[in-house]
Each structure stands twice: as structure tokens, then as C-alpha cells.
Amino acid sequence: MLVRSLTDRDERFARGSELFISQPGEGTKQPVKVASGRKSAKGPLIRLEGYTTREQARELNGRMLYITASELAMPEDGSYYGFQLEGCTVYAGERLVGIVVKLAESRANAFLEVEPEGGGDDFAIPFVKEVILSVDLERQRIEIPENFLE
């Protein structure tokens, strides 16, 4: 199957590599092993152990492949992996605004999907330096301008 790769490390798709694959509509990920892999002009072409037919491979269309967090390179200062931001509390000054559900992307920029304090519909906060004043992963706290949501 053809993989749309988000990594510059080709060895992630080499024979014997251990990955995790998402299950549609679930948060669970099951372990899979690369049976074979090679480069192509359109991206990596891989075959996973246990998936031997085209029909089985088609069933995997749209799923995501993952590695363990311990295999990730440390991001540059001021950069973050989405999973690091999930669950962080968002504050506008001293006021708790909500909790980060996920980091998502639009054509314009990345944004935080936030579940508001006290309930209600999730809302988006652009993940840009003008809005995100600070990120403290140790305290799981993100600061935005006090008047941003007014």
C-alpha cells in the first residue's frame, strides 16, 4: 500500500519496522510489522504482515500509522507534537478557558481545538505566536491573551 509519509526518516518503513495502526472511529491502535517496504515517486510502498491481499490492504485506506513517543526526535524549541498539547489547560490571564482536545490544521494554520470550561461546544484557538503567549508542558498550561476570547 502507498503511504503518505509525514516523516523524513525512510527507515520507519523498512522491513521489520514495528508501527501501530489506528482503528477507524476508535482511539485504539494495534501493533503491525512491515513485511516489506520500498521507495516510490509517490511515497513509501509497504506491505504489512498479515495483510496479504489487495482487498485487505484497501480496508486500511484512510488509517493512520504511528510510532511510539519514545522514538520521536525532540522537537525544536517552540515546536510541539500534537499529543504533547492534548489535555493542557488553556488560560486567558488567570481565567481557565478550557482544555485542549487536540492540535489540528487548516489551510491557513494550526489551531487548538478546546473544550470550554463549564461545557458547551468546542472552539478553535489559532496556534500562532500572536495568540499563544506561552506553553508550559511540565505544568500542562497554555497562556493566551486575556482579551482574546472577548
Domains of the chain, CATH where assigned: 10-71 (no CATH), 82-144 (2.30.30.240)
Mean pLDDT across the chain: 89
> Residue 89: pLDDT band by 50, 70, 90 thresholds?
very high
Compute and round to an integer the Cα radius of gyration of the chain. Answer: 19
Per-residue pLDDT, 24: 65
Counted residue by residue, the chain has a size of 150
Does pTM top 0.75 for this prediction?
Answer: no
If DSSP codes are grouped into helix, strand and coil, which group holds residue 89? strand
Query: Strand 45-48's sheet: what is its strand order?
Result: 45-48, 29-38, 18-22, 65-66
Q: Which of 140, 107, 103, 108 is nearest to 124 (CA)?
A: 103
Query: How many other C-beta atoms are found inside a 10 Å radius of the C-beta of residue 97?
Result: 20
Query: How many other C-beta atoms are found inside a 10 Å radius of the C-beta of residue 135?
Result: 17
pLDDT in tens, 33-80: 999 999 999 989 999 999 989 899 888 888 888 888 788 888 888 888
